[in-house]
Structure 1
């Protein structure tokens, strides 16, 4: 028989046990004990809600079989790297139901305690947070399990904003693994699959909640992570993975597979949430397009801070220019090559700080402000067209639209709203689709182009032939005109001109077969103009016909010159 003191001791122990159980269930829906060899040895909690079966039915199962294929490699790598006494920060995973179908989205945590024979103690909670659901609904790379670039930017931006609101310090690390693709291609399929899975699992494990890591581009990766994560340690771990494949891995790519990284501190107090998100988006965009060269990945922390501060300063200046319309427009004529008569003008942007328009547009695309800027330019041009019409004159003007803008349904709705009160101006407003950034959703873009043409606008595909995407664009987008990249015009009279001429003639023939008008840009000499006309190109643009000017330098059509209040191409003669 127990003494009174022993009974009190046992009662206290039960109370302590019950208290810990209560704490555990307040933080989790299901608790699992998993042996070192991966078998579930204990389960308690809302197993039917989480796993689709009773808790007793989980005992004896392999823990890995509870996890969805897309998260299994990542999670087992995470557990495999967990040291005794270590803890898994909460990560988002999807489970499998007993019948193999997709199960609940869960927040998973865990630890490996001392003196427990290597067992893992894992908690699972049903994720009811929109961010968690969004994270697993996003597009992922099938080899690494990492987010696709666009989804990474979006989700990382949301997590960055939340972290800053909570006062958490987060950083963006960009890692380039030079030569990884060549290595993977040289390995047997099972080894290459395993290596890419390990690389993805390692990078994902360093991110916030396991879901703010992305594949930015081939061999380029991004991680939004806690302040405690060290970029050099991550790079060293990647190098170790590469070495396990039997290939040298070093900072210098010339000595093997090169692993390089840069980290940007996004918690600087001088930055607003909006500035921080813009800086991150711009950094990711530059890293994708230019790689290590854009960030001087071996530079010091101070130079990286300077880069970030410069980016924030440029973003603020751009935001001010867009919101206050602190930019100018100049107009360059586009003429018929056969008659030298005006067809239309192109509106080109110039900025008060004298900065490169191309770099400014790239910045706007990188920080997702290009839609606002495109709309601001359209507003200015529509105001000009309306004013000239009130004066009894008709102008046709082309405005550049970024491929990013074209893919946005919100942008398209706002664009159509601008002309809702004066639909008659639509025939005077031409849109040139630029190729400074690649269009990722050609179906959306094709629908947008079709909508613009149905509204009465003409559409031109700019810089044709400059990028690998030009011909897919031409196949997908039903446009009225194609503007051939100026590099082909410049090469007309240079060494090796026969090859360039053959390519140019081929592009012109293709456009004529499709019933598409052709425009040549950067025309500066009469010899160039004559050759282009001989090749069958319809229109020309360049210094030969007119410099960009604040006020159009060709006399527009008067409303009383032609019936129908709108001219036909070629009706207006060039001022001499």
Structure 2
């Protein structure tokens, strides 16, 4: 009987993460599997407890009725319920069960976690996967790859990372039916995961671009052939699409896991950004070790710049659209004293490698220091905050400490949320925004109108000002219905009591256009370029623009 039961348990684990047996009064008689991830307790500690205690209050009636159904020989099939752990956390699981009359009418239940579990049955905290294919997202894959490469090297069983590219993936995928698309994604995902080092170390980097960490010496050619055959099976012509795979050699000596992760994020993003059918993934793979080392050198250099406060502020004015009065200055970073040079490359690098929060707090401190020195001049400046930083708790805590030390700052300091598309959780971001507004600081949302999500951002993020994206303004100026569109935007903002700024106003025609559309403030090269001297603008400003 014991051998047979073990076999049935093994079969059950093909679907479930945990198995539980209940008597007719719902008391737990047997438990095994990943119960710690679901209810915060080891299987053996559950014996004798009422199953009800483990279920979320809102789901208890549902569970009672499901168990009642099984007494009539009905099956519970794949129903989602919520389990509760002692710390109050809610864990969604899929629930299946049946009553076996030959075994005292006991309930036999199978529970499957709806979030990924690792090899020891614990939730993968912070790990993001595609629910259909099981593949890690790009950022999660970078972190997993760094972890696996380091741990495998330390254990004496070195691993390798392979990048996979399917040129023509988009066109091929669009031709498939919705059902075939899902099956194809699952096929690719399962194939990559099956070849990865632990069955969970494969990820989707971009459309048609994938990566996996595997044992050293794996037959990459066989992987290419397997994936190629899969594409042929879904192609009516039987041709399929090309599959390219290249194995990356990364020097693991004298590299810590954090820097390796950041270096891999940067280089994997480089792979992700390659477009067209002309680039060869094998060439990228061969050069990747150099790219990782280059990224880590840049990491150290950027850290030294930030840590040493070795950067400068350039000021750019925001003017009233009719009077030309300076409302405030946007504080822009400049490196190496090159005030004419955009910092776009460095800032993008910082965002891609997770250093942007460190930089954002350094920039805030530098601006506060400048305001302290020039407080008598009563100049207001806006500090940029990357969308990546708004949910970074160390950054938020340090910023709050900085602001609380000088409450007078609220009259001279504003904050501008940039790269809002990088905001992962809008509700959490709004909590941060309100923490600033509650302290008396005004907050501006940058890049408004640049994408379809802009209205969702505005409805969720309660801000004081929106900055209309420069390209959106220029497109509106060129489009036949652009004037009406921009007027509608400014009317909406006024209704919400949100002020508007138009950026990239670089000509008299643009100034007249946004003025006619009801925009309240303007920014652009028409009024001067970013400069370390904020007072210079007042002297150089062409007042005829506002007469």
Shorter-chain TM-score range: 0.7 to 0.9
Stretch deviating more after TM superposition (189-198 or 414-423): 189-198
Distance 1:290-1:473 versus aligned 2 partners, 3 A rule:
farther
Relative to structure 1, the CA distance from residue 182 to residue 497 in structure 2 (aligned partners, 3 Å threshold; closer, same or farther) is closer
Distance 1:477 1:385, change over 3 A: same
1:57 aligns with 2:5: yes
Specify the alignment match of 1:524 in structure 2.
506
Instruction: Give the structure 2 partner of residue 101 of structure 1.
Output: 111
Helix, strand or coil at the partner of 1:406? coil
Residue aligning to 2:497: 515
Query: Using a 3 Å threshold, how does the CA distance of structure 1 residues 480 and 295 change in structure 2: closer, same or farther?
Result: farther
> Which of 439, 450, 453 matches 2:434?
450
Q: How many Å apart are 1:294 and its aligned residue? A: 12
Residues of 2 paired with 1:394 and 1:242: CA distance?
A: 65
* Counterpart in the other structure of 2:527: 545
TM-score (norm 2): 0.73
**Cα distance in 2, alignment partners of residues 101 and 161 from structure 1:** 33
1:349-406 CA-partner distances (Å, limit 9, x unpaired): 11229675112111111111111011111110011111112xx222211111111101
1:380 alignment partner, one of 362, 366, 372:
366
**Counterpart selection for 2:201 from 212, 215, 230:** 212
Residues 259, 172 of structure 1: alpha-carbon distance in 2 compared, 3 angstrom cutoff: same
Show the 5 A alignment for 1:214-233.
Answer: 214-229=203-218, 231-233=220-222
**Larger-Rg structure:** 1
Correspondence list, 1:398-409, <5 A: 398-409=382-393
Please name the residue that 2:39 is paired with.
none
Report deviation, 1:551. Answer: 2.2
- Cα 1:281–1:304 change in 2 (3 A) is closer
> Which residues of 2 match residues 273-312 of structure 1 at below 5 A?
273-288=257-272, 297-299=281-283, 302-312=286-296
Question: In the alignment, which residue of structure 2 is the partner of 1:27?
Answer: none
Unaligned runs of 5+ in 2: 19-93, 98-107, 539-544
Question: How big is the shift at 1:261?
Answer: 4.2
Kindly indicate whether the alpha-carbon contact (under 8 Å) linking 1:295 and 1:304 is maintained by their aligned counterparts in 2. Answer: no
Looking at structure 2, the residues matched to 517 and 106 of structure 1 have their Cα atoms a distance apart, in angstroms, of 47
| SS across alignment from 1:266 | coil
User: Aligned pair in 2 of structure 1 residues 483, 172: CA closer, same or farther (>3 Å)?
Assistant: farther
Shift of 1:266: 2.8
Structure 1 range deviating more: 332-341 or 232-241: 232-241
Q: Once the 2 structures are TM-superposed, how far is the Cα of residue 343 of structure 1 from its aligned partner?
A: 0.4
Q: CA deviation at 1:518?
A: 0.8
1:144 correspondence with 2:154: no
SS of the residue 2:313 aligns to: strand
Which residue matches 1:67? Answer: 14
Q: Does 1:174 align with 2:163?
A: yes
2:190 to 178, 184, 201: 201
**What's 2:352 paired with?**
366
Query: Does the aligned pair in 1 maintain the 2:260–2:292 contact within 8 Å?
Result: no
> Is the contact made by 1:139 and 1:147 (CA closer than 8 Å) also made in structure 2?
yes
- Where does the alignment leave 5 or more consecutive residues of structure 1 unmatched? 1-42, 44-53, 72-93, 109-126, 250-254, 557-573
Q: Flag the 1:142–1:350 CA change in 2: closer, same or farther, 3 A.
A: same
Distance 1:437 1:171 in 2: 33
1:2-51 CA-partner distances (Å, limit 9, x unpaired)? xxxxxxxxxxxxxxxxxxxxxxxxxxxxxxxxxxxxxxxxx9xxxxxxxx
Give the superposition deviation at 1:316: 2.5
Q: Distance in 1 between matches of 2:501 and 2:175?
A: 45
Distance in 1 separating the partners of 2:180 and 2:304: 52
**TM-score of the superposed pair, with normalisation by structure 1:** 0.69
- Deviation per residue, 1:494-536 (Å, 9 max, x gap): xx44243343233222222222111111122222212211111
Alpha-carbon spacing, 1:322–1:228, altered in 2? closer, same or farther (3 Å): farther
Which of residues 203, 207, 228 is equivalent to 1:239?
Answer: 228
RMSD: 3.6
Distance 1:217 1:423, change over 3 A: farther
Number of residue pairs the alignment of both structures matches: 452
- Residue 70 of structure 1 contacts residue 145 of structure 1 at CA under 8 Å; is this kept in 2? no
Task: Say if 1:68 and 1:95, in contact at 8 Å, map to a contact too.
Answer: no
Residues 344-355 of structure 1 aligned to structure 2 (within 5 Å) = 344-352=328-336
> 2:462 aligned to 455, 478, 490, which one?
478
Distance in 1, Cα, partners of 2:454 & 2:148: 35
8 Å contact kept, 1:489–1:520: yes
> Structure 1 residue 338 and structure 2 residue 322: aligned?
yes
Q: Which moved more, 1:392-401 or 1:136-145?
A: 136-145
Distance in 1 separating the partners of 2:435 and 2:514: 32
Taking the aligned partners of 1:410 and 1:293, their CA distance within structure 2 comes to 42
User: Aligned-pair distance for 1:161?
Assistant: 4.3
